[in-house]
Amino acid sequence: MIQSVSPSVSDRLPTLIQSQRQFFATGATKDVEFRIAQLKALRQAIQAHKDAILEALKADLHKSVFEAYAAEIGVIRDIDHALKHIRAWVKPKSVPVGLMQAPGRARIQAEPLGSVLIIGPWNYPIQLMISPLVGAIAAGNCVVLKPSELAPRSSEVIADIIRKTFEPHYIAVVEGGIETSQAVLAQKFDHIFFTGGTAIGKIVMAAAAQTLTPVTLELGGKSPCIVDADIDVEMTARRIAWGKFMNAGQSCIAPDYLLVQRRIKPLLLQAIEAAIYEFYGDDPAQTEDYGRIISDRHTQRLTSLLSSGRILLGGQTNLGDRYIAPTVMDQVPPDSPIMQDEIFGPILPVLEYDELEEAIAFVNDRPKPLALYIFSRNKDIQQRVLNATSSGGACVNDTFLQVGVVDLPFGGVGDSGIGSYHGKASFDTFSHFKSILYKPFWLDFKMRYAPYKDKIETLKKFIR
């Protein structure tokens, strides 16, 4: 197990960050060829440590090999995308100067921020550490990584990969618990990228405010799933069950609750039950394809939510194994405990509505979610929901897959987060876009210089 930070680790943090600042000052990280070489080295290291990654994810989350490849080792796709596009990303962009600035030329030049901090979560401990790292490398930064102590084996693997691949004055890993996080946040960085819960996000933002450090906060929230009556019932059920119960429900964009049109509800619930049986069999505890809750504390929290309504399916728990069965709940009061905060586990509350406006109003009465899902064949209904609600992202007639489109920026809005990443958005997040105007010496309009007597009318005509 990873222990809380020792005084020696806390003491060496300023020295570590100073060494990164000194290395950044050499300009080495600004060279695009250097960045490309580091991305290739990272890709090779992940490939070389695939077995260790799979073992760590199995130990921490009982994550299946399929899910580990799809959602964790698959982060290699982010590296490949960056390698394909990085030369275009770093190229300065010309913009018109307008008549008043002629003759001249203007451009926007992306430059790295400096030394950045990336704090990762435990639910996808490899992907959500490496994916922002790809953006930070592509943008030309030095990086300090802080993995989650709640996934200790994964944290060890990340540390091993980084230490074998990069010098600490360029990219370093700091492991530990709450005291480590506090010590890291007390340092001055040029950007902080945090993925985790809203409560900790507020702590990160408060700490960053002390040093005026900009932040990207990838949080979460109660992502609603609105189901219209005009659907393919079996396909809808499979896609909802897959998105909800993957990683035992511990996904920031998992459907948090269903808002189902009353007429279709009985058929949909039957189909969800059939889908769960198809995925995990009679006893999901026995299949290698179903995960476990990250800790005893989280298991106890989720177990306490099972009294919030009537259990239609599942509900079995085993604290010693950190197991909670895929669970569907009905007759859930809107003010019940399970409807207050993000569930982040394999429990699916089902609420119903008659008119679409009821469902829209229900969503809008709550903090803006990270994701919103709408199932309907009716394009007018799809658009009504998308236009009338606000969420970090949305997906129509499926769940979760919007996160896999690398050119779609991923991030929250309001309580669900600040900023975005993935693809070009990751490069942008870790870059400063410097505006530059170039002027020649061969022409100089003297009208702008004092004295201004008799020039105001000419200026007015020019502006018009």
Write down the pLDDT at residue 52.
Answer: 98
CATH number, domain of 382, equals: 3.40.309.10
Whether 459 maps to a domain, the answer reads no
Q: In terms of domains, do 103 and 151 share one?
A: yes
CB-hemisphere CA count at 13 Å for 363?
31
Q: How confident is the model at residue 454 (pLDDT cuts 50, 70, 90)?
A: confident
Q: What percent of the chain has pLDDT over 70?
A: 98
- DSSP 8-class letter at 53: H
Indicate which residues carry an active-site annotation. Answer: 218, 252
Q: What percent of the chain has pLDDT over 90?
A: 92
Torsion on CA atoms 258, 259, 260, 265, rounded to nearest 10: 50
Q: In terms of domains, do 140 and 231 share one?
A: no
Q: In terms of domains, do 112 and 99 share one?
A: yes
Other beta carbons less than 10 A from residue 66's beta carbon = 11
Q: In terms of domains, do 247 and 209 share one?
A: no
Q: What is the largest CA-CA distance in the chain?
A: 90
The answer to whether 61 and 247 have CB atoms below 8 angstroms apart is yes
Q: How confident is the model at residue 462 (pLDDT cuts 50, 70, 90)?
A: confident
Q: Minimal CA–CA distance to 24: which of 191, 183, 179, 146?
A: 191
What end-to-end distance do the CA atoms of the chain give, in Å?
A: 70
**Alpha carbon 79 to chain centroid distance?**
16
The per-residue pLDDT for range 78-118, each reduced to its tens digit, is: 999 999 999 999 999 999 998 778 899 999 999 999 999 99
Write down the pLDDT at residue 461.
Answer: 83
Pairing of strands 224-227, 257-261: parallel
**Structural element, H or E, at residue 195:** strand 191-195
Q: In terms of domains, do 187 and 243 share one?
A: no
DSSP string, 393-454: EEEESSSSGGGG-TTS-EE--GGGEE-EESTHHHHHHTEEEEEEEE--SS---GGGSSP-TT
Whether 152 maps to a domain, the answer reads yes
Q: Minimal CA–CA distance to 144: which of 185, 114, 115?
A: 115
Residues recorded for the chain = 464
Using the Cα atoms of residue 258, residue 403, residue 121 and residue 206 in order, give the sign of their dihedral. negative
Q: In terms of domains, do 385 and 424 share one?
A: no
Q: What is the Cα–Cα distance from 430 to 137, expressed in whole angstroms?
A: 9
Whether 158 maps to a domain, the answer reads yes
**Alpha carbon 239 to chain centroid distance?**
21
Q: Minimal CA–CA distance to 261: which of 377, 344, 364?
A: 377
- Collapsing DSSP to helix, strand or coil, 166 comes out as coil
Q: What is the Cα–Cα distance from 204 to 224, expressed in whole angstroms?
A: 26
Domain with 419 in it: 7-219+415-436
Q: What is the Cα–Cα distance from 437 to 94, expressed in whole angstroms?
A: 10
**Alpha carbon 229 to chain centroid distance?**
31
Whether 332 maps to a domain, the answer reads yes
Stretch 6-32: mean pLDDT:
88
Q: In terms of domains, do 98 and 54 share one?
A: yes
The per-residue pLDDT for range 70-79, each reduced to its tens digit, is: 999 999 999 9
CATH number, domain of 200, equals: 3.40.605.10
Write down the pLDDT at residue 5.
Answer: 46
The per-residue pLDDT for range 393-446, each reduced to its tens digit, is: 999 999 999 999 999 999 999 999 999 999 999 999 999 999 999 999 998 888
Task: Provide the number of structural domains found in the chain.
Answer: 2
CB-hemisphere CA count at 13 Å for 362?
24
Whether 453 maps to a domain, the answer reads no
